[in-house]
Amino acid sequence: MFDKTLLANKRILVTGGGSGLGASMSRRFAELGAELIICGRRLEQLEQTAAQLRADFGGKVSVARCDIRDAAAVEAMMETIWCDGPLDVLVNNAAATFIAQSEHLSARAADAILAPTLHGAMYCTLEAGRRWIAGHHKGVVLSILSTSTITGRAFTVPSAMAKSGLLAMTKSLAVEWGPRGIRTVAIAPGPFPTTGATGQLRPETRDSGPAAQNPLGRVGKHSELANLASFLISDQAGYINGEMVVQDGGAHLRASGAEDLLQWSDAQWAAQRAARTKT
Ligand SMILES: CCCCCCC/C=C/C(=O)SCCNC(=O)CCNC(=O)[C@H](O)C(C)(C)COP(=O)(O)OP(=O)(O)OC[C@H]1O[C@@H](n2cnc3c(N)ncnc32)[C@H](O)[C@@H]1OP(=O)(O)O
Ligand SMILES: NC(=O)C1=CN([C@@H]2O[C@H](COP(=O)(O)OP(=O)(O)OC[C@H]3O[C@@H](n4cnc5c(N)ncnc54)[C@H](OP(=O)(O)O)[C@@H]3O)[C@@H](O)[C@H]2O)C=CC1
């Protein structure tokens, strides 16, 4: 699909690159010649993914243990990265969510989603952006958002708020940082099965799967998202700035994807609160 050197000479940080969609994007970027830094909280998971990428593609892959909720930790990570040279691309991928009735959300529960999803991505963007501007270096920020930015989404309100905040960041910085050579772009994926998303959003007690509700009758393939991401961060997409590309098989045109939860009984919600997963 792409020239194998599409991302040669690109130095890319993927937050949450150790697992899920972050690992799948990292894999494709490595295949297309990029140097990678993947960050997350679980060092062992990061090392495992990095070792596999090195074995498969032979390029340079480094890991950074970093909880992006911690602004000082993000600054320290960026300092360490820049010691070896500037990044070319930041992929804001790490995020958290869970389903809950909003009236049951405590402040801590709301912050547990907003802190990594909104604040963490903002810290990473600001730390990369200020270094790009100071060094007169071009950069690209790709943020992985959600179709909740278009529809809103019941029962995942903090996530929907965070993703909409990041869409506002993407559009705003396109204008503010475009003249400085920095592009900001985004993808709004529909359902792409991952351990994290399935664990948090699809308890076995939910009746119908996202494939059944999708106009195309299926969920997304990781390779499809990884290819779109590769294009958007490449120089081939050099005139795309401030845009969010939806990749959901048309699902958001039918519904936001959470309406089945309106039918849940109090007992089902109580069981969900008791059985909630933590990844
Ligand atoms: C068409 C459909 C498409 C849907 C797309 C939706 C778009 C977004 C998708 C995604 O983001 S998928 C990625 C999901 N992956 C993850 O969430 C992985 C990362 N997860 C985590 O880090 C954690 O699991 C967590 C969710 C952040 C929670 O862990 P944390 O250690 O931060 O929380 P705690 O200290 O345990 O609790 C803090 C606070 O939050 C309350 N809480 C925690 N989990 C739940 C839950 N499942 N339900 C309700 N409340 C929860 C917990 O009770 C604490 O509050 P207090 O009790 O202290 O008030
Ligand atoms: N999968 C889907 O259907 C959809 C996903 N998305 C978006 O795609 C992106 C990836 O989702 P997905 O792969 O499913 O999610 P996963 O839960 O599978 O992966 C999340 C990744 O983020 C990392 N992470 C979470 N919290 C932090 C933190 N505080 N600091 C650093 N890293 C963190 C995790 O690593 P660790 O635990 O080691 O920190 C993990 O590698 C997210 O932005 C999500 O909102 C959007 C719509 C649909």
Tell me what the mean pLDDT of segment 79-91 comes to: 98
**Looking at the predicted structure, is the pLDDT value of residue 201 above 70?**
yes
Question: Which atom of ligand 2 lies at the shortest distance from residue 45's CA?
Answer: 38
CA of 59 to the centre of ligand 1 (A): 34
**Least reliable range by pLDDT among 170-184, 197-211, 257-271:** 197-211
**Looking at the predicted structure, is the pLDDT value of residue 36 above 80?**
yes
Which residue's alpha carbon is nearest to atom 6 within ligand 1? 146
Please tell me the distance from the alpha carbon of residue 117 to that of residue 69, in angstroms, as a whole number. Answer: 8
Which residue's alpha carbon is nearest to atom 19 within ligand 1? 96
**Looking at the predicted structure, is the pLDDT value of residue 96 above 70?**
yes
Tokens of 166: 């990041």
Q: What is the pLDDT at residue 65?
A: 98
Distances (CA, A) of 205 to 82, 208, 271: 46, 9, 9
Report yes or no: 146 and 163 within 8 Å, Cβ to Cβ.
yes
124 lines ligand 2 (CB under 6 A): no
Q: For the chain, which domains are there?
A: 11-274 (3.40.50.720)
In this structure, what DSSP letter does residue 12 have?
E
**Looking at the predicted structure, is the pLDDT value of residue 263 above 70?**
yes
139 lines ligand 2 (CB under 6 A): no
Please tell me the distance from the alpha carbon of residue 260 to that of residue 202, in angstroms, as a whole number. Answer: 11
Report yes or no: 167 and 246 within 8 Å, Cβ to Cβ.
no
Report yes or no: 14 and 26 within 8 Å, Cβ to Cβ.
yes
> For residue 161, what pLDDT band results from cuts at 50, 70 and 90?
very high
User: Regarding predicted confidence, which is higher, 208 or 62?
Assistant: 62
Question: Which atom of ligand 1 lies at the shortest distance from residue 277's CA?
Answer: 47
Sheet holding 89-92, edge to edge: 61-65, 35-40, 11-15, 89-92, 139-144, 182-189, 244-247
Distances (CA, A) of 42 to 18, 170, 268, 279: 8, 28, 32, 11
Distances (CA, A) of 264 to 3, 118, 233: 49, 29, 41
The per-residue pLDDT of the chain, averaged, comes to 96
Question: Which atom of ligand 2 lies at the shortest distance from residue 94's CA?
Answer: 22
Mind listing the pLDDT tens digit for each residue in 111-159? Answer: 999 999 999 999 999 999 999 999 999 999 999 999 999 999 999 999 9
CA of 16 to the centre of ligand 2 (A): 6
Q: What is the pLDDT at residue 199?
A: 87
15 lines ligand 2 (CB under 6 A): yes
Paired residues of 40 in beta bridges: 65
> For residue 207, what pLDDT band results from cuts at 50, 70 and 90?
low
How many helices and strands, by DSSP H and E, does the chain display? 11, 7
**Looking at the predicted structure, is the pLDDT value of residue 258 above 90?**
no
Question: Which atom of ligand 1 lies at the shortest distance from residue 106's CA?
Answer: 59
Buried b (16+ CB within 10 A) or exposed e, 182-215: bbbbbbbbbbbbbebbbebbebeebeeebeebbe
Report which bound ligand comes closest to the CA of 20.
2
Tell me what the mean pLDDT of segment 178-202 comes to: 95
> For residue 106, what pLDDT band results from cuts at 50, 70 and 90?
very high
257 lines ligand 1 (CB under 6 A): yes
Report which bound ligand comes closest to the CA of 143.
2
Element (H, E) at 84: none
257 lines ligand 2 (CB under 6 A): no
Find the length of the chain: 279
Report yes or no: 142 and 89 within 8 Å, Cβ to Cβ.
yes
CA of 40 to the centre of ligand 2 (A): 9
Sequence-distant contacts of 113-116: CB under 8 A, at least 24 apart = 113/158, 113/159, 113/162, 114/158, 114/161, 114/162, 115/69, 116/67, 116/68, 116/69
pTM higher than the cut 0.80: yes
> For residue 243, what pLDDT band results from cuts at 50, 70 and 90?
very high
Please tell me the distance from the alpha carbon of residue 67 to that of residue 40, in angstroms, as a whole number. Answer: 6
Place of tokens 């010691």: 83
42 lines ligand 1 (CB under 6 A): no
Q: What is the pLDDT at residue 206?
A: 77
**Looking at the predicted structure, is the pLDDT value of residue 236 above 90?**
yes
21 lines ligand 2 (CB under 6 A): yes
Q: What is the pLDDT at residue 279?
A: 67
Question: Which atom of ligand 2 lies at the shortest distance from residue 115's CA?
Answer: 29
CA of 179 to the centre of ligand 2 (A): 31
Mind listing the pLDDT tens digit for each residue in 60-80? Answer: 999 999 999 999 999 999 999
